[in-house]
């Protein structure tokens, strides 16, 4: 089993990835729901970060530093930096404040100075707002955003024909890759007889709202 399938299995075991009937922000009735905020203890965050590190390594993207957008990206970027260091690759990391600090060191960036090729680490991309803000911050510091890594790509259309992931790739010319995507989820479900009905429901949902390729 590769790390993508292991990640799906881990997310299901932690009830981070759930099946049923859920309403998305777009008002769609989705047969599954992914809430990365439920990786909410030390052991879960440690393992999650290890999966991110494997996805980053597999991407072969050239990286000089890591950036986590506030707020969800803050614990993620710190944990991923630790996981990568343990794997033999220590990189500087930083994150932003929502409001600039007027005293002390000042500014709205915490951690290492932004320089070189910076990889953005986030949980998911829905509207892409935090990614757009991150790209602006990185470029304003004179650095270059080199990509985005997220936990799960739903490979689902936004308001148009493209997914939020594809829109980020188009708008900024940078790759977006995920620890796992909808293809990986479907592959996992089809290998398990107990998930047969869930796979069928997700396949129907994908036929209605999915994109051909994402990330």
pLDDT under 50: residue ranges of the chain: 103-104, 214-215
Q: Is 149:178 a contact under the CB 8 Å cutoff?
A: yes
| pLDDT score, position 62 | 97
Angle at 36 between CA 31 and CA 38, to 5 degrees: 100
Closest listed residue to residue 206, CA positions, set 56, 38, 28: 28
Query: What pLDDT, on the 0 to 100 scale, is given for residue 11?
Result: 97
Which of 54, 101, 198, 207 is an active site residue?
101
Task: Give this prediction's pTM.
Answer: 0.92
The H or E element spanning position 189 is: helix 182-190
Return d(Cα 172, Cα 43) in angstroms, integer. 34
Alpha-carbon distance 34 to 11, whole Å?
8
Residue 186, both tokens: 């479907």
Q: Among residues 25, 98, 103, 207, which one is catalytic?
A: 103
As beta bridge partners, residue 93 has 66
**β-strand pairing of 144-153 with 176-181:** parallel
Q: Does 44 sit behind a cis peptide bond, omega within 30 degrees of 0 on the bond before it?
A: no
Burial class (CB in 10 A: 0-12, 13-18, 19+), 60: exposed
What's the half-sphere exposure (Cβ side, CA atoms, 13 Å) at 71?
Answer: 3
Q: Is the Cβ–Cβ distance between 50 and 83 less than 8 Å? A: yes
Is 207 a residue of the active site?
no
Q: What is the CATH number of domain 3-209?
A: 3.40.50.2020
**Residue 101 known to be catalytic:** yes
**Residue 176 tokens, joined:** 């977006």
The reported pLDDT for the residue numbered 126 is 76
């Amino acid at each position: 089993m590769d790390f993508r399938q292991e990640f799906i299995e881990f997310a299901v075991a932690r009830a981070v990835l759930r099946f049923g009937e859920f309403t998305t922000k777009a008002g769609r009735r989705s047969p599954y729901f992914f809430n990365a905020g439920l990786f909410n203890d030390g052991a879960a965050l440690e393992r999650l970060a290890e999966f991110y590190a494997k996805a980053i390594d597999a991407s072969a993207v050239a990286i000089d530093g890591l950036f986590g957008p506030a707020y969800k990206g803050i614990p993620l970027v710190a944990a991923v930096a630790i996981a990568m260091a343990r794997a033999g690759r220590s990189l500087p990391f930083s994150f932003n404040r929502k409001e600039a600090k007027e005293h002390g060191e000042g500014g709205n960036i915490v951690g290492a100075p932004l320089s070189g090729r910076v990889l953005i680490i986030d949980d998911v991309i829905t509207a892409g707002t935090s990614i757009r803000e991150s790209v602006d911050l990185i470029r304003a510091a004179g650095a270059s955003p080199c990509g985005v890594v997220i936990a799960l790509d739903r490979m689902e259309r936004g308001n148009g024909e493209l997914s939020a992931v594809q829109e980020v790739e188009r708008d900024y010319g940078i790759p977006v890759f995920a620890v796992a995507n909808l293809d990986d989820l479907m592959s996992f479900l089809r290998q398990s007889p107990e998930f047969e009905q869930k796979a069928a429901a997700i396949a129907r949902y994908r036929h209605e709202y999915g994109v051909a390729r994402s990330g």
